[in-house]
Amino acid sequence: MKLRKVSAVALAATAALSMAACSGSSSETSSGGSDSKSFEFWSFTGINAKGSAEEYKKIRPDVEIKLTEVGNAQETAQALTTALAGGKVPDLVLIQGDDLPKFVQQPQNFVDLRTMGADKIKGDYLDWVISQSTTKDGAIIGIPTDVGGMAIAYRADLFKEAGLPTDREEVGKLWPTWDAFIETGKKYTAATGKAFIDNAGGSIYSQVVNQGDQKYYDPAGNLVYEQSPQAKTAFDLALKAVAAGITAKQSTFTEGWSAAMKRGDFAVVSAPVWLLGSIRDNAPDTAGKWDIATIPGGSGNWGGSFLAIPKGAKNPQAAWDYIAATQSPQGQLDHFAQARSLPSTPSVYQDPKLTSVKDPFFSGAPIGTIYTNSLLGLKPFVIGPDSTTIGIEFTNAIANVEQGKGDPAKAWDAAVTNIKNAIGG
């Protein structure tokens, strides 16, 4: 992560580590001992962890970072589960937010970061984000690295060809609601003969379901996905888009999705901030043709990750030094400027280094402002240990209908059945 300066709070926390390492945390490491000059780091792919490590090396050239990009977020979480069972763990691991709850339920497998200084910096983060990595008795097992503010990426050139507005403010006014978004899609498809969005699961369902205050669990942590109004509304809207014939039927991150994006086969992608890099990477020749508009409904969050130190880590001191420096408000701000990873530290949301960022790939859109605005007024929801599995089954059911393999009248019940089979209840 880009590190030009580290906050005073983070430095103070780092300075206090020697005492922590000599107390509770040192007894929690493996018999291999502690080494403040190196650590093993497991990350998932697609977030440029290598770049973050290289930036850290600029301020700590004496530190050796043994980085492994394990796989996607779910594969990394599974590898961590296996490692925890086997006893050979990394010193530091990145955990995607939807995968975090299962680990919070097993806090004995992780260093309580309060012993390392987390109690001194927890106020730096959005309270509803740091609460996700905090156990019922107050232990903190992870420090948030980012959040997933939401917006819509659209091809301004294709909108112009379809006779639609191209100015981002005017485009946002086209769709104050998701029903209006689908109606706009119908107008685009009628004018061009082309799909409006890439797919209904990713660009509608996964957005709408992350805009409410209850998703698959109630505030007490009970499973309520079958009765969740937010999930059912999102599901029905996605099927409405399929029925309207406005989707390209290209699943996100597939080769077909990438190829269709390059060809301009669809004009819109619902784009949480972390998806912008995929648009750049998959369709580099479309630079300057995209723009960013407000998402229907105005706000929402999908995504975010946490850095944790497993119990049994050989070098927790070195791992915490990295966390304290890179995840300070200044560290997250600098990383946003370098990698467009939206800070989870609200104290920087009005900083000119964030508000002044205009992305040339997306026609100079002020992405810092657009995406942080999507977090305002947000009512957070409980993420549970099976949130990822539940979401996958709902989007799979939508994709089956989209591909002509499923009956839309039976899709919801089929998804619920598959969920029960997958999670056992």
Q: What is the mean pLDDT of each run of 10 residues along the chain (425 residues)?
A: 30 29 33 66 87 90 95 93 93 95 95 97 95 95 96 98 98 98 98 98 97 93 96 98 98 95 98 93 96 96 95 96 95 87 95 94 96 87 92 97 97 97 87
If one counts the domains in the chain, the total is 2
Domain that holds residue 28: 8-147+303-348
Is 154:267 a contact under the CB 8 Å cutoff? yes
Is 212:179 a contact under the CB 8 Å cutoff? no
- For residues 177, 183, 184, 190, the Cα torsion angle rounded to the nearest 10 degrees is 170
How far apart (Å, rounded) are the C-alpha atoms in residues 303 and 388?
11
User: Does 62 fall in a domain?
Assistant: yes
Given this model, what pLDDT does residue 4 score?
A: 27
Q: 165 and 222 share a domain? A: yes
Q: 251 and 277 share a domain? A: yes
User: Does 205 fall in a domain?
Assistant: yes
Q: 239 and 294 share a domain? A: yes
Note the maximum CA span of the chain.
69
Q: 267 and 320 share a domain? A: no
Given this model, what pLDDT does residue 424 score?
A: 85
Q: 307 and 388 share a domain? A: no
User: Does 372 fall in a domain?
Assistant: no
3-state SS record for 32-97: CCCCCCEEEEEECCCCCHHHHHHHHHHHCCCCEEEEEECCCHHHHHHHHHHHHHHCCCCCEEEEEH
How far apart (Å, rounded) are the C-alpha atoms in residues 77 and 106?
13
How far apart (Å, rounded) are the C-alpha atoms in residues 419 and 396?
11
User: Does 76 fall in a domain?
Assistant: yes
Q: 127 and 260 share a domain? A: no
Residue 320's CATH number: 3.40.190.10
Q: 67 and 168 share a domain? A: no
Q: 176 and 291 share a domain? A: yes
Given this model, what pLDDT does residue 50 score?
A: 87
How far apart (Å, rounded) are the C-alpha atoms in residues 117 and 309?
13
Is 231:395 a contact under the CB 8 Å cutoff? no
Q: 105 and 70 share a domain? A: yes
User: Does 367 fall in a domain?
Assistant: no
User: Does 141 fall in a domain?
Assistant: yes
Q: 60 and 206 share a domain? A: no
User: Does 363 fall in a domain?
Assistant: no
How far apart (Å, rounded) are the C-alpha atoms in residues 66 and 46?
18
Given this model, what pLDDT does residue 301 score?
A: 94
Given this model, what pLDDT does residue 55 score?
A: 87
Please choose, from the candidates 165, 159, 192, 197, the residue with its C-alpha nearest in 3D space to the C-alpha of residue 178. Answer: 197
How far apart (Å, rounded) are the C-alpha atoms in residues 336 and 346?
13
User: Does 258 fall in a domain?
Assistant: yes
pTM across the whole model = 0.86
Given this model, what pLDDT does residue 36 score?
A: 67
Q: 212 and 134 share a domain? A: no
Amino acid at 65: I
